[in-house]
């Protein structure tokens, strides 16, 4: 029988939840890396036992962890203790937590500045890894979205990282600015039908696309409208919270923007709003049903100053029409006195025949639905605030 493994990152460690295909009884393992913020844990589609984790701390900086046995043991994929720091040729060896912006003459550009909260220019400063996206076909290749916003790639299992500098250097960087959570690259989508195409999203800059494997990039924000920036239709500066796609139709993207739920059918060349009858179109997460490309999920949040559900009722909204027409899913979710948030990387789906939907809250609950949202139950209830949820469907 199939199994499901949920990888949960929290403010104080990582947790791994496993269940059989019924998804009724769950085993909880953790905390892994107790006391550290785990922004994201994700498994390789090419080798489900290969996991990558972003472990971070305001005190001690960024650590990358890797597991080759589904989270039983972890290593920092770099130089083992006692080994020389350099190769015989004198070159530095891999260092798994070294994220240095590319300023080389060959591939990088002199570090530019980006816009700061007060409108002045501010230098790029690495803070943490928000999101890790393993390659679809190579367990040793993984992408990292970081704050201050940039995209890095490792092709040696996380030992060393190199910036894909064409994104930060393509020209609009000086107009990017931090959102309330910092200036982070939080979403990386790999096109399953075109290995050269990739989408990323940055808060607050917008969405970007490459069609040549990451060398060159361009903004794909036409149609986004953000009232809170000087030019609401600007090329960049939009606070995109999350984008999602269905692997069968990678040209169709769904976006939860700061305000507004959006959709594109042409790979981001143009967007249109599909918020429809949502009670509020502010939110963070958005995801797509594993088998129904027009079925999408969001969790509406009251506003950008009140990061909790409307009326204290935790409701997932589902559209079976690719947006505009939404229904509230409430069965099993708290419908009074609930004031948690659901952060941007904290929703995932499994790919069992009856699609499972999962999301984690800042109150430490992880909710799951084994019937595509029809009914919900908490699979764990008292974790630290949940930062991210990923789900692996296993044979």
Partner 1 sequence: MIRVVLPTHLRTLARVDREVKLEVKGQVTQRSVLDALEASYPMLRGTIRDHATLQRRPFLRFFACQEDLSLEPPDAPLPEAVGSGTEPFVIIGAIAGG
- Give the interface with partner 1 as residue ranges (CB under 8 A): 34-36, 57-63, 76, 78-83, 85, 95, 97-100, 126
Judged by CB, which is closer to partner 1: 58, or 88?
58
Least spacing, CB of residue 81 vs partner 1, in Å: 6
Strand partners, 38: 55
Strand partners, 16: 7, 29
Least spacing, CB of residue 39 vs partner 1, in Å: 16
CA 131 – CA 127 distance, rounded (Å): 13
CB pairs under 8 A, 24+ apart, for 244-248?
244/189, 244/286, 244/287, 244/288, 244/296, 245/189, 245/199, 245/288, 246/288, 246/289, 246/293, 247/192, 248/293
Sheet architecture: strand order including 316-319? 282-288, 296-301, 316-319, 327-329
Rg of the Cα atoms in the chain: 20
Least spacing, CB of residue 158 vs partner 1, in Å: 13
Least spacing, CB of residue 60 vs partner 1, in Å: 4
Chain centroid, CA 85 distance in Å: 33
Judged by CB, which is closer to partner 1: 114, or 344?
114
Least spacing, CB of residue 59 vs partner 1, in Å: 4
Least spacing, CB of residue 63 vs partner 1, in Å: 7
Task: Decide if 134 contacts 155 (C-beta within 8 A).
Answer: no
> Using alpha carbons only, what angle is made at residue 49 by residues 45 and 52, rounded to the nearest 5 degrees?
75
Judged by CB, which is closer to partner 1: 95, or 292?
95
Judged by CB, which is closer to partner 1: 97, or 275?
97
Phi, psi for 112 (deg, rounded to 5): -90, -170
Beta strands in 178-229 (DSSP E): 184-190, 198-203, 206-210, 218-219
Least spacing, CB of residue 107 vs partner 1, in Å: 17
Judged by CB, which is closer to partner 1: 61, or 232?
61
272 contact partners, CB below 8 Å, separation of at least 6 = 223, 262, 263, 264
Judged by CB, which is closer to partner 1: 97, or 221?
97
CA 379 – CA 28 distance, rounded (Å): 9
Task: Decide if 356 contacts 369 (C-beta within 8 A).
Answer: yes
Judged by CB, which is closer to partner 1: 76, or 216?
76
Least spacing, CB of residue 136 vs partner 1, in Å: 29
Judged by CB, which is closer to partner 1: 165, or 243?
165
């Amino acid at each position: 029988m199939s199994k499901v493994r949920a990888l949960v990152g929290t403010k104080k460690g990582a947790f791994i939840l496993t269940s059989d295909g019924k998804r009724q009884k769950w085993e909880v393992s953790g905390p892994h890396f107790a006391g550290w913020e785990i922004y994201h844990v994700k498994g390789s589609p090419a080798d489900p036992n290969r996991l990558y984790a972003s472990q971070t701390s305001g005190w001690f900086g960024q650590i990358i962890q890797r597991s080759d046995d589904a989270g039983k043991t972890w290593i920092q994929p770099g130089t083992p203790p006692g080994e020389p720091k350099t190769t015989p040729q004198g070159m530095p060896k891999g260092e798994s937590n070294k994220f240095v912006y590319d300023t080389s003459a060959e591939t990088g550009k002199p570090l530019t500045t980006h816009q700061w909260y007060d409108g002045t220019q501010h230098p790029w400063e690495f803070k943490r890894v928000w999101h890790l996206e393993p390659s679809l076909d190579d367990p040793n290749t993984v992408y990292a979205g970081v704050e201050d916003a940039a995209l890095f790639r490792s092709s040696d299992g996380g030992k060393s990282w190199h910036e894909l500098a064409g994104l930060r250097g393509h020209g609009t960087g000086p107009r990017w600015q931090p959102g309330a959570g910092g200036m982070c690259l939080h979403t990386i989508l790999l096109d399953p039908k075109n290995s050269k195409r990739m989408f990323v999203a940055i808060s607050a800059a917008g969405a970007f696309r490459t069609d040549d494997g990451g060398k060159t990039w361009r903004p794909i924000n036409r149609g986004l409208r953000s009232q809170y920036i000087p030019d609401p239709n600007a090329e960049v500066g939009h606070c995109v919270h999350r984008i999602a796609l269905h692997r069968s139709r990678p040209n169709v993207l769904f976006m939860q923007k700061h305000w507004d739920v959006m959709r594109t059918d042409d790979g981001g060349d143009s967007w249109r709003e599909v918020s429809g009858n949502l009670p509020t179109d502010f939110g963070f997460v958005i995801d797509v049903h594993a088998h129904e490309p027009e079925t999408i999920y969001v969790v509406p949040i009251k506003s950008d100053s009140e990061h909790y559900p409307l009326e204290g009722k935790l409701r997932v909204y589902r559209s079976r029409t690719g947006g505009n027409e939404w229904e509230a899913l409430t069965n099993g979710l708290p419908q009074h006195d609930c004031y948690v948030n659901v952060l941007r990387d904290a929703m995932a789906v499994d790919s069992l025949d009856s699609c499972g939907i999962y999301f984690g809250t800042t109150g430490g609950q992880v909710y799951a639905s084994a019937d595509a949202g029809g009914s919900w139950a908490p699979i764990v209830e008292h974790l630290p605030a949940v930062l991210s949820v990923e789900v692996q469907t296993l044979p």
